[in-house]
Amino acid sequence: MSDPFAACDLCGGVEFQPLYPGTIPEEDRHDPERSRAYFSSSRRSAGHFPIVRCKKCGLVMQNPHDDKGTLAQIYAGLRDEAYQGENQNRRELAKRRVAQINRLAGTCRLLDVGCSTGIFVQAACEAGWQATGLDPSGWAIELARRQMPGAAFVTASILEASFAENSFDVITLWDVLEHVSSPSQTLAALHPWLKPGGWLALNLPDAASWPARLMGRRWVLLLREHLWYFTPTTLGRLLEKTGFELVQTRPNLVNFSLYNIFTRLGQYPGRIGSTARWLSGRGGMNSISLRFPIGEMTAIARKT
């Protein structure tokens, strides 16, 4: 079910400027099973609810969006076979991210929130870190445990999880914060788990990026599962509000195979979608990868 919300999660504002109309058919808005088709890399449909900007602080968001109960049900039962198809590219990305954080914190205790099948956790363990993965998807955690039987994985959402205070030197949220019902509540919940001066690393859509501004309503990250669209400014304000200091942001380049690119374009209706679906079925598309910007930013913050 969709859940109209009255206030901005960042500033509490209740007045919004419309940006882009919703693209989800009425019959797909309230049925949980039909809603599931819009989530994960394996989504069968691409669409979103109306996109608006808070007039008070500038945070961009979907209004309305799926309610907390629907999101919990979807993520707990989510299976994402398409995610597995990009394992090699994701392993290379995980190694780059481990190297980046290692320059900040060295060998450390790490929690990867939204760990999915555990690729980043594996890279961190191979670097000598004590790494724990957290994800609400039972399918993803089961697969992660089979691939890395010695690593620590927890099946739970952020708000369901319980860790002792000061348990971790680093907490990562790769492509997570845009999915949660309340980013401020999420960051406040994990704040005690991080030791004083500990590091927080995030990757998320950047509404101020040139791909977002150039593509407008056709921006590929305008998706039903993405409830929030930050900028370096609004992210900095959110982090300050929840006990963190934004240290740096930089554009993120994604690494996708041609198969993945055409599969994602094929989730859209019309001629582009049908052509992309045809191209995704051609041979050799998994063997060719491209690295390019789609409007994401990687951010590093510190617990104040």
Tens digit of pLDDT at every position of the chain (304 positions): 555 566 899 999 999 999 999 999 988 988 878 888 898 777 888 899 999 999 999 999 999 999 888 888 888 887 866 665 566 778 999 999 999 999 988 778 999 999 999 999 999 999 999 999 999 999 999 999 999 988 999 999 999 999 999 999 999 999 999 999 999 999 999 999 999 999 999 999 999 999 999 999 999 999 999 999 999 999 999 999 999 999 999 999 987 776 666 666 667 777 776 776 776 677 666 677 777 789 999 999 999 9
- Domain 2-303 is in which class? alpha beta
Q: Is 179 helix (H, G, I), strand (E, B) or coil?
A: helix
Which pLDDT score, from 0 to 100, does residue 274 have?
A: 78
pTM: 0.90
Can you point out the beta strands (E) in 44-193?
Answer: 51-54, 60-62, 65-66, 109-113, 130-135, 152-155, 168-174
Task: Give phi and psi for 130, each to the nearest 5.
Answer: -95, 100
Task: Give phi and psi for 41, each to the nearest 5.
Answer: -65, -25
Cis, peptide link before residue 64, omega less than 30° from 0: yes
115-133 per-residue burial string, b: 16 or more CB within 10 A, e: under 16: bbbbbbbbbbbebebbbbb
- What is the rounded distance in angstroms from the CA atom of residue 116 to the CA atom of residue 113? 9
Beta bridge partners of 244: 303
